[in-house]
Chain A
Amino acid sequence: MENILDKTIQETRDLLRKKEITATELTSFYLERIQRYDKDIMAYLTITGEKALEMAQDADLRIEHGEDGPLLGIPFGIKDIFCTKGIETTCASQILKGFIPPYDATVIKKLKEEWFVHLGRLNMDEFAMGSSTENSSFQTTKNPWDLGRIPGGSSGGSAAAVAAGLCAAALGTDTGGSIRQPASLCGVVGMKPTYGRVSRYGLIAFASSLDQIGPLTRNVADCAIVMNTIAGFDAMDSTSIPQPTPDYTEFLGKDINGLKIGIPKEYFIAGMDADVRKAIEESLSVFEKQGAILIDVSLPHTEYAVATYYVICTAEASSNLARYDGVKYGLRTEGKDIIEMYKKTRLRGFGTEVKRRIILGTYVLSSGYYDAYYRKAGKVRTLIRRDFDEAFKSCDILMTPVSPTTAFRIGEKMEDPLTMYLSDIFTIPINLAGLPAMSLPCGFDTKGLPIGLQIIGKPLDEGRMMQAAYVFESEKNIQKIPDAFR
Chain B
Amino acid sequence: MKITKDVVEYVAHLGRLDLEPHEIDLYTDQLDRILQYMDKLNTLNTEGIEPTSHAIPVECLLREDLVKESLEIESSLQNAPERKGNFFKVPPIIEVEE
Contacts and interface: CB of A to CB of B under 8 A. Distances in A.
Nearest to A102: B75
Given A325-B16, A326-B81, A242 B38 contact: no
B37 A307 contact: yes
A341 B16 CA distance: 9
Interface in B18-43: 18-20, 23, 26-27, 30-31, 33-35, 37-38, 40-42
Task: Specify which of A318, A355, A359, A421 lies most central, judged by the most chain B CB atoms within 10 Å of its CB.
Answer: A359
Given A242-B58, A337-B95, A385 B52 contact: yes
Contacts of B40: 303-304, 307
A383 B52 CA distance: 9
B58 A241 contact: yes
Contact of B56 (A238, A379, A434): A434
Contact of B41 (A308, A318, A330, A433): A308
A415 to B, nearest CB: 10
A459 B90 contact: no
Given A376-B42, A379-B46, A432-B55, A337 B92 contact: yes
A209 B54 contact: yes
B52 A238 contact: no
Contact of A356 (B27, B58, B60, B81): B27
B41 to A, nearest CB: 5
Contact of A342 (B16, B52, B56): B16
B71 interface: yes
Given A307-B40, A310-B34, A327-B88, A379 B12 contact: no
The 5 closest A-B pairs by CB, nearest first: A434-B55, A378-B51, A329-B79, A102-B75, A332-B81
Interface of B: 7-8, 11-12, 14-20, 23, 26-27, 30-31, 33-35, 37-38, 40-42, 44, 46, 49-56, 58, 60-61, 63, 71, 75-76, 78-82, 88, 90-93, 95
